[in-house]
Amino acid sequence: MKPFNVEFFAQDFSLKHHTNIDSVKYSCDYLSPKTNSIQVRFSTDYSNGDYVRIYRDNEVYFGRVKGVTISNAAGTAATVEYEPFERLFSTEIMFDVTQQGTKSIEQTIADTITAWWISNADSAQNVPGLTVTTTSSTAWNFQLQPSVEGLNYRTLNFYNELIMPAMSRLGVGVYVTPDPYEHQIDITIGKAAAQAYTVEANLPNVIVSNIVLNETSEDTNKLIVYDARDLQTTITYYKHPDRTYDTRNRNRITPVIYQIATVTPNEEDTLADLAAREAAKLFESASYNNLIELTVLNDDALVGARTMEIGQTVNIISGGVAYPSILTGREIGNVTKLIFGTIRIDLTTILKQRGGSNA
């Protein structure tokens, strides 16, 4: 079988070392970026902080070297640990909460990356060759509050409190593509393919399937819309366990987590019209509170083991029931495990970091 190329680069993308390996095991999880490792011939040419790119044909893995350990008595082999480039963004920033609603979530994330890692006044903090572009424009549907009441700023973990909720609630992803020949790392921010895939979990090509549901959502499940003209007239929408929503008070999700909105009807839009829009904005982009794992062969084209993009929305059909979800992780070895949804068995890795946000 054709080997994988392994290249180590300095921060400016000057090539430091090249070798080959026969196989790769790789795990990625948008909820909690994973550290992976490879076994290579030891060399003093590469070290912590370097970039590593592992590729074969269209299969590419990229990250920053986190550790190098000599792994045999002769000192000729090494285990190289590397973490995804996105881990760079798992750090505290000072965020201006007044940006919310004035521009799309994609542009907000792009502007933050630019301010902190491309055009920072501390030039040493800027990442050489880093570029950022947006491919879609999506309105916010969650709210971050300031750290101190009355001020406009919030100290937050950029990855946990902005990048991850953008994926879980809006399907907006941050995608990293290395371009060593142009000495660039290209960041693309936007939605994956708009049309949802349909995947049959019970077909023979699915080796193993696992579905865990969490029908008691931490999302808002009740919306009260007030008429701003009198602040007395209201229309209330309820979200139901099957992810539908309407104004009927039945088949409710508990505990009740509610949100209030105020709208001003006019000649063109009635209270009912505006309330329906507020409900659609809130409920149609809710997070996918399930865990669905499908294990298939690495070259499975029917499910799209290698081609399905993180952030792709899907309808997974099992036992005649359709479960809406979103691809958030992938484990690649002798087979490929596709991981959908925004919960994990280990509750410490639940995607939605809700501390201090009102949603």
- Nearest to 56, CA basis, from 26, 76, 35: 26
Q: Please report the pLDDT score of residue 285 as a whole number.
A: 54
Higher pLDDT among residues 322 and 349, named by residue: 322
Q: How far apart are CA 16 and CA 198, in angstroms?
A: 44
Q: How far apart are CA 271 and CA 262, in angstroms?
A: 10
- The pLDDT confidence band at residue 357, using thresholds 50, 70 and 90, is very low
Q: Please report the pLDDT score of residue 267 as a whole number.
A: 87
Q: Please report the pLDDT score of residue 194 as a whole number.
A: 66
Residue 121, in any domain of the structure: yes
Q: Please report the pLDDT score of residue 116 as a whole number.
A: 97
Is 105 a residue whose pLDDT tops 70?
yes
Rounded to the nearest 5°, which phi and psi values hold at 82? -140, 145
> Is the domain of 53 the same as that of 126?
no
**Location of structure tokens 């409710």:** 252
Q: Could you read off the pLDDT of 121-160 as tens digits, one per residue?
A: 999 999 999 999 999 999 887 778 888 888 999 999 999 9
**How many domains does the structure of the chain reveal?**
4
Higher pLDDT among residues 345 and 328, named by residue: 328
> Is the domain of 98 the same as that of 176?
yes
Return the percentage of the chain with pLDDT > 90, whole number: 60
> Is the domain of 182 the same as that of 104?
yes
> Is the domain of 277 the same as that of 292?
no
Higher pLDDT among residues 296 and 220, named by residue: 296
Q: Please report the pLDDT score of residue 113 as a whole number.
A: 98
What CATH number does the domain containing 20 carry? 2.40.10.10
| SS3 assignment, position 211 | strand
Q: Please report the pLDDT score of residue 353 as a whole number.
A: 35
- Residue that is last in its domain, among 40, 57, 83: 83
> Is the domain of 150 the same as that of 273?
no
Is 359 a residue whose pLDDT tops 60?
no
Q: What pTM did the predictor assign? A: 0.77
Q: Please report the pLDDT score of residue 289 as a whole number.
A: 74
> Is the domain of 260 the same as that of 327?
no
- Residue that is last in its domain, among 239, 258, 283: 283
Q: Tokens for 353?
A: 């970091």
Cα–Cα distances in angstroms (integers) from residue 236 to residues 154, 176, 222, 271, 295, in the given order: 31, 41, 7, 11, 42
Q: Could you read off the pLDDT of 164-177 as tens digits, one per residue?
A: 989 988 889 999 99
Q: Which of 13-22, 227-236, 252-261, 344-353 has the lowest mean pLDDT?
A: 344-353
- Nearest to 93, CA basis, from 37, 162, 34, 24: 162
> Is the domain of 260 the same as that of 130?
no
> Is the domain of 97 the same as that of 172?
yes
What CATH number does the domain containing 93 carry? 3.55.50
Q: What is the average pLDDT across 9-28? A: 96
**Which range has the top average pLDDT, 96-100, 230-234, 277-281?**
230-234
- Residue that is last in its domain, among 256, 283, 310: 283
Residue 354, in any domain of the structure: no
Higher pLDDT among residues 342 and 109, named by residue: 109
Mean pLDDT over the full length of the chain? 88
Domain that holds residue 322: 197-215+288-349
Q: Could you read off the pLDDT of 284-328 as tens digits, one per residue?
A: 655 677 889 999 998 888 888 888 999 998 989 988 888 888 999
Residue 359, in any domain of the structure: no
